[in-house]
Amino acid sequence: MAIIYLDNNATTRVAPEVREALLPFLDELYGNPSSPHHFGGQVEKYLTIARTQLAELLGCRPKEITFTSGGTESDNLAIRGVLAARPEKRHIITSQVEHSAVLVQCQELSRQGYHVDFLTVDSDRQIDLEDLENKIQQDTALVSIMWANNETGVLFPIESISQICKAHKVPLHVDAVQAVGKIPINLGSTHIDLLSLSGHKIHAPKGVGALYVRTGLRIRPITWGGHQERGKRPGTEPVPLIVGLGKAAELAHGWIDEEQNRVRQLRNMLETGLAGSIANLQVNGAGSPRLPNTLNVCFKGVEGEALLLLMDQMGMAASSGSACLADKLEPSHVLLAMGVPESVAQGAVRFSLSRYNTEEEIREVLKVIPGLNEKVLQLSKAADPVKEMVSP
């Protein structure tokens, strides 16, 4: 049975072109780029090529790219690297709807004595810009806000946020793990100071990512060792993974328009079809700018996990939210922060598409899910009287 994969915000398949590009570096080109001999040194130029490919996607200079192991490390290096370089400043601003790589990190920093303000989102699921400006103080070391929410796909007004941060001379870190490759980005025309990304969200392998650091901004490493990555991130570079990331960036640069158009049309087809056939459906973030590939809905009166289990049995892969929190059965902190009632948030399902999804797949999903929803809904209704009977 062929899988219909609709969980691309969790991870993406490696593009065939990416696999082909990295294979030689697993076989004949396996030297260490830091080695003094030609066999190792010849590999270093491919790191430069990959850095250039990624810089072209982001609209920045190659020297502003630091390779990491992924989005989580990039977020940690950005936040902790800035704090280490500005030890006199102890205040951080972020939001309540961040990915756990930022949210949990800031919670830990709060326990370590830093003052952290967590911005709320308003009724339009957006950051309150006035609240942000009011919370900036002399002691503010950093503002860290995601570009696109990983669960709802809602896009935050990063340009406006960057203008506020620039006016107050506060560095801005943007977690763009979900945005890179899906929307056009030109860092050369923004006031973003740091930007995190992850390879496996753009059809590169897992285990590689990058951090953009604007020229002139000083950060300190958070791990210690060799000289690699201009001293920002020590350790022997995983050349095959970096080459794969570079190729994926090159492909994404040419796919942006398609991601914006064809994938959005498929997402809208799925959204319209579900809304037209399921009475107990709520679309989350529909009134806000969103990623073209993401649809987050709540099936009211239904346990989202139960519906996902039935979908899985039918060969359809989606999720209830962030894959990094998949072992927790609590409702999404993002939806709760958006004002979604806990009982409704329990029915959340996230569909996230990629360039490899087809119209035929969406039609099949639309044929199957209404029946599965009705099945779970009836089971939930049947279970309610039993719950009442056994309640103390």
Cα separations in angstroms, 232 against 110, 118, 333: 24, 28, 32
- pTM score, whole prediction: 0.93
pLDDT tens readout for residues 167-193: 999 999 999 999 999 999 999 999 999
pLDDT band with cut points at 50, 70 and 90 for residue 386: very low
pLDDT given for residue 321 in this prediction: 67
Residues 377, 392: Cα–Cα separation, whole Å? 25
Residues 112, 248: Cα–Cα separation, whole Å? 38
* Statement: residue 380 has pLDDT above 90: no
Q: What average pLDDT is seen over the chain?
A: 93
pLDDT given for residue 269 in this prediction: 98
Cβ-contact 157, 126 below 8 angstroms: yes
Greater confidence (225 vs 67) lies with 67
pLDDT band with cut points at 50, 70 and 90 for residue 287: confident
* Domains, in order of start, for the chain: 4-9+256-380 (3.90.1150.10), 16-252 (3.40.640.10)
- DSSP per-residue string spanning 210-238: EEEE-TT-----SS-SSSTGGGTS-S---
Active site residue 324: yes
Give mean pLDDT, residues 75-97.
97
* Statement: residue 315 has pLDDT above 80: yes
- pLDDT above 70 covers a percentage of the chain that reads 94
pLDDT band with cut points at 50, 70 and 90 for residue 258: confident
- DSSP per-residue string spanning 282-307: EEETTTS-B-TTEEEEEETTS-HHHH
Beta-bridge partners for 299: 281
pLDDT tens readout for residues 198-252: 999 999 999 999 999 999 999 999 998 988 988 899 899 999 999 999 999 999 9
Selecting among 106, 165, 298, 324, the annotated active-site residue is: 324
Q: Which stretch of 127-131, 218-222, 324-328 has the lowest confidence by average pLDDT?
A: 324-328
Give mean pLDDT, residues 120-149.
91
Greater confidence (126 vs 184) lies with 184
pLDDT given for residue 389 in this prediction: 40
Give mean pLDDT, residues 107-134.
90
327 Cβ neighbours under 8 A, 6+ residues apart? none
pLDDT tens readout for residues 17-61: 999 999 999 999 999 999 999 999 899 999 999 999 999 999 999
Q: How far is C-alpha 158 from the chain's CA centre?
A: 15
Greater confidence (12 vs 1) lies with 12
Q: Which stretch of 289-298, 301-310, 322-331 has the lowest confidence by average pLDDT?
A: 322-331
Beta-bridge partners for 260: none
Q: Which two tokens stand for residue 45?
A: 């130029």
Residues 316, 368: Cα–Cα separation, whole Å? 10
Q: How far is C-alpha 20 from the chain's CA centre?
A: 25
Residue 71: strand, helix, or coil: helix
Residues 2, 374: Cα–Cα separation, whole Å? 24
Q: What is the DSSP letter of 320?
A: S
